[in-house]
Amino acid sequence: MTIAEQIYREAQTPPDELAQEVLDFIGYIETKYHLKSAKDRDLLAAQGPAMARIWDNRADDEAWNDL
């Protein structure tokens, strides 16, 4: 099992509040080691609230599951 697979498996267990902290930490590591710029991370964070309605659309999700 790869490290990425282990991280994915472990990420399935914490509640959403703690999972958000893990996600924030990954963003910190990406910025610290210049894997992604802070500007890119901030842009992704800013689009979240605006796109939440579109991303969390169960009807569309169900339609795509059959493809």
What residue ranges do the domains of the chain occupy?
Answer: 3-65
Region label for 45, one of left (φ > 0), alpha (ψ between -120 and 50) or beta (otherwise): alpha
Q: pLDDT of 10-53, one tens digit each?
A: 989 999 889 889 988 988 888 888 887 777 778 878 888 888 77
pLDDT for the residue numbered 2? 94
The two tokens of residue 26 are 């990954």
- CA-based radius of gyration for the chain: 15
What is the reported pTM? Answer: 0.51
DSSP secondary structure string for all residues of 5-62: HHHHHHHTSS-HHHHHHHHHHHHHHHHHTTSS-HHHHHHHHHHHHHHHHHHT-HHHHH
